Structure formats: C-alpha cells, structure tokens
Amino acid sequence: MLLLAISWLLILGSHAQHHKIFQMTGVQDWTGKFQGEFNIPFTEHVDGWEMIITFSVPVTGFSEWMGDVVKTSTDNRVYTIVDKPHVGIQEIGNKLQVTVSGSYSGSKPPTATAEFINLGKDDFKPTELPNKDHTKYNYDQVLELSILFYETQRSGKLPANNRIPWRGDSALGDKGQNGEDLTGGWYDAGDHVKFGLPMAYTTTILTWSLLEFKDAYTSSGQLQYMYDCIKWPLDYFLKAHTKPNELYIQVGDGGKDHSYWGRPEDMKMDRPSYKLDASCPGSDVAAETAAAFAAGYMVFKTKDPAYATKLLKHSRELYDFALAHQGIYTDCVNEAAAYYRSMGFKDELAWGGAWLYYATKEDKYLTSAEKYHEPGKAWGMSWDDKQAAETVLLYKLTKKDQYKQDIEATYTDWMPGGGIPYTPKGLAYRLKWGALRYASNMAFIALMAAEEGLHEAEYRKWAQGQIYYALGDTGRSFLIGYGTNYPRRPHHRGSSCPLRPAPCAWFDQTQPGPNPHILYGALVGGPDEQDGYSDKRDDYVHNEVATDYNAAFQAAVACLKSLHLRGKFT
C-alpha cells in the first residue's frame, strides 16, 4: 500500500498534508462474506477524492457505491477507488459513509484501513524569486509566473522538462485535412480550441519583448524558459504552414469544445481543422503569422541560425500569400467567426511588412507596410487591431514625423483627460471584456514609444501605473499566484479539475471552492467600470484568462525591468 501511495503522490505532486488514514468499522460477517464502512468527516473543502483501501487478507467480489475502482493489486488486498461525480465535491462539516463488501477466505472477516486523498489540492508552487531589484513589484517573479502560464496552455506532447505537474499530453490526434501533423501550439484560453490569429499575435508580441529586452529575461533567470516559450507556437506554425499558399488557422470546433468542461487530456470530441488557401484567403492571420516568423527569425538568428532561416522562409511565403490573396479570414472560415471575428486586414499587412523590413531591411517590405499603414489615432490594441503597434514599429524603423503624430494623437486620447474613461482607481477602461488586456496592451506600446524618445517620462509613468493596477495597487492582484489577494476561481477548465484520476465535468465549473490548481501567472479579464470584481468561475467576461491577455502585459513588465537595469526608470 505504501509503495502505491508514494508512487501516486510522486506522479501528482506533493499533497501529503491532504490525505488521512481511516479504519474500517461496523463490520458485519456472514461466514465468507462481509460488509464494513469508512466514515469520512471533512475538515477542508474537497473537489474530488481517492481512497486506497488495504485489507488484511485477499478480498474478492469487492463492491461499494460511492466510487469507481481504478486499480486493484494482484493479490486482491489493495483497492483504489475514485469518487463518483455526485459525491466528489464536499464542504467542511460534511460527512461521507463509504460502505464496502466482498468475500474472503478464512475464519474471520478482514480488517482494513483506507488512505483518503483530497484530489482537489495539488500544492505545486513555483520557485520564489527574490526581488533583487527592490522595485515595488517583483518583476522577476512576474516574468517567471507569466511564462509558466504559457506552459500550462501547451497542447500536444509535452517535453521532458514540463514544469506543470498537473498537465499531461493532450490532443495528440490533431491533424490537417490530409493527415498533416497539427499537434502542439497553445490552447487559446479557458477552453481547448487552437485559434491561429490570437496565437500568432501573442507570439509576435512575446517575441518582440525578448528581442528588445533580452537583458530583463537574462537578469531574471528566465532567458532559456522564454526561448522555449516562443519556440512552442513557432514550431506549431511551421507545421500549420503546409504549402506556400496554405495555412491551417484553427483546430477544434468551438461549439463542441465549449459544451465540454474537463481536462484537455481527457477530450474525446472530434477536433476538425480549418485552413486558408488561394480560394479561402485570410490576409489578417497570414500576415500576423508572417510577423511572428519574422520576429522569431531575429531572436533565433544567432542562437540557432538554421532554425531562424526556416522561420524567415516561411515568413516571406506567408506575407506574399497575404498580399496576393487578400481577404478577411472569418469571411471564409465561419467556424472562427463566433469567437475571433476579424474586422480587417490592413493593419496586419502593415504590421507584417514592418516586421519583414525590420528583419531583412528589404525596401519592398517597408513600401508595403507604409502603403497599408492606417493613419490617425488608434482605438486601442488587441489581437485584431495592430494599428498602434505597427505605428510604433514604423516610427522605430523610419523616424518619420507622420508616425510620431499618430502615436501622440493616440495617447492624447488614452491619457487622463482624453476620450478613454477611467475607473475611480485609475484603470484606463476601453471595454469591459478583458479590460486589463486593453490597458496592458496600450501600456506596452507606450513603453515602446518612449524607447524611441517620445514623451519618455510621461508615457513610462502612465504605463507603469496601468501595470501596477493589475499587480496590486488597488489592494488586489489580478495576476493569479502573485501577491496574496489574487483570483482563485478563474474561468479555466483544466485548472478547475481535480487531480487525475478523479472525474471532471460541469459540476466542477459550478462548485463553490477555489480551483484545485492555482493557474500561476494568468492575468484575468479584470474589474468592472467601478473597480468592482467578483472571483467567480462562471464570469468569463471578468474572470477568464487567455494567451493574448498575458502577451503585452508580460512584455510591459520586461520593459520595466529593463528600464530599471539600465537606470532609466524606477
């Protein structure tokens, strides 16, 4: 029994303080058959449990009604059961009686003990990094946590150095329409669809942060983790770009996926794939993926020249595809429209062209980028709206006054006194759905503008204020696992499930306790217009997480860290 218990604990992570030993009582004997019971009082919230029952003699015909047998020892002395769904969630003060029965040989019925394990606790904790910079918030810790969130979102065959103990291999059957391998990439948010446009945008922004602020990742000890972080989706995009004019941009059906509440490791629904080609164009996602490849080329060109060369080749092909066959991807791939509908593609053509010019210095790419640049102030920035980002990048590359004027117009609108409303505690409030995402995105772009000499003190102070709002200036951290008062019930399927092999379904979405797994590093959507926030799992407007939410937030923190290292801003 002890070896079995230790083995299971090692697999799942240390949670020894969440298991207790109980004796079988109330034994009734019918000469060769017996019945006994285990009475379990609950002194902590339980979301899923396991019992390892060890009998003094072999027992056959074992039965009970509260769980399902998942393991039996070869000598029929040890039975491992896992809760049935209707009894898996228990609150403090509840009591559970597990009645067992079976047959035995010998003159007297068996005695038994049961090790009861709470599978709603995993006790995984990342390394506590010291705040060696002595800044108000620990930038090193924030960068570590955010990268861990991206590791949590990984799909496919996990690497040997996987740091998330409750994640396993998943979606190993993801394929293209002709059998192409489409495993890998990131799950989008709290669900398990792989959407190409947010994923590519996220990759570009994260890669940009590594390109510009490598010193921050090096100093924080996160450099190799960050290389691994961005290479995971880049490898997936290489698989997805199956021909020069063919790109897979989605794996999974949103409707079927959203009707399932459970672990990605347990998915059994069909996961169809959707692609772009000359007859089904998508300049937005093609150009965004080209941007990700170009940025990746710049990051890897000295670290792994062969890999970088491959990325640049795919970047060129995809950008040519985006130019030659223009269209909005959700006009063709209707399956994505309900989730990530694109409103246009000119911003991505400008963005992708600017990145290819940055990478190659070939004038044709700058000409294209400037042709598709959208002048004037930007509404904001998101996975679908790159106007602010491409404007700053074009200013960096050309120093033309027109781009400076566009940036200044944007931040005149975004700063206090402009057209963007603010919460009472100071968050620039563009939209209620993922409010922190928009504020963080614009904070990062403001920092990038300041890097180019534009209103350095003003833009940096404002950007820092938006990031600090998320990290705790209101008395609450919106970054899970950071600080003490952070969200415990994010709208995220995998982290809401107890440790395997306990079942997980919609009852885990509605259970009142915290998620069994702390979703370290995930930035939640954020507060309402009055700074109000409720930590509710079913509130996907304010409490969902997404890979695109973290991208510019993490990039902004890397910039703030770099500024501190350079002695430019504290």
Residues noted as catalytic: 491, 535, 544
Which phi and psi angles does 338 have, rounded to 5°?
Answer: -75, -10
End-to-end CA distance of the chain: 56
CB 282 within 8 A of CB 332: yes
Alpha-carbon span 360 to 291, nearest angstrom? 12
Q: Which secondary-structure segment (H or E) carries 195?
A: strand 194-195
CB 513 within 8 A of CB 401: no
Burial 106-125 (b: 16+ CB within 10 A, else e): eeebbebebbbbbbbbbebe
CB 314 within 8 A of CB 238: yes
Alpha-carbon span 459 to 423, nearest angstrom? 19
Instruction: State whether residue 82 is helix, strand or coil.
Output: strand
Alpha-carbon span 441 to 443, nearest angstrom? 5
Tokens representing 56 are 């003094």
On the CB side of 166, CA atoms within 13 Å amount to 30
Beta bridge partner(s), residue 67 = 83
* Dihedral angle over CA of 422, 425, 427, 431, nearest 10: -60
Tokens representing 151 are 């590791």
Alpha-carbon span 387 to 300, nearest angstrom? 26
CB 149 within 8 A of CB 520: yes
Distance of CA 80 to the CA centre of its chain: 32
Amino acid letter for position 72? T
Q: Order of strands across the sheet with 247-251?
A: 194-195, 247-251, 273-276
Instruction: State whether residue 324 is helix, strand or coil.
Output: helix
Q: Which residue has the tokens 């998943």?
A: 170
Where are the extended beta strands (E) located within 3-94? 19-23, 25-29, 33-41, 46-47, 49-55, 60-64, 67-72, 78-83, 89-90
Number of neighbouring beta carbons within 10 Å of residue 416: 11
Pairing assessment for the beta strands 194-195 and 247-251 based on DSSP bridges: antiparallel
Instruction: Give the C-alpha distances (Å, rounded to integers) separating 367 from 84, 361, 483.
Output: 63, 11, 47
Burial 507-535 (b: 16+ CB within 10 A, else e): ebbebebbbbbbbbbbbbbbbeeebebeb
Distance of CA 445 to the CA centre of its chain: 22
Alpha-carbon span 369 to 268, nearest angstrom? 43
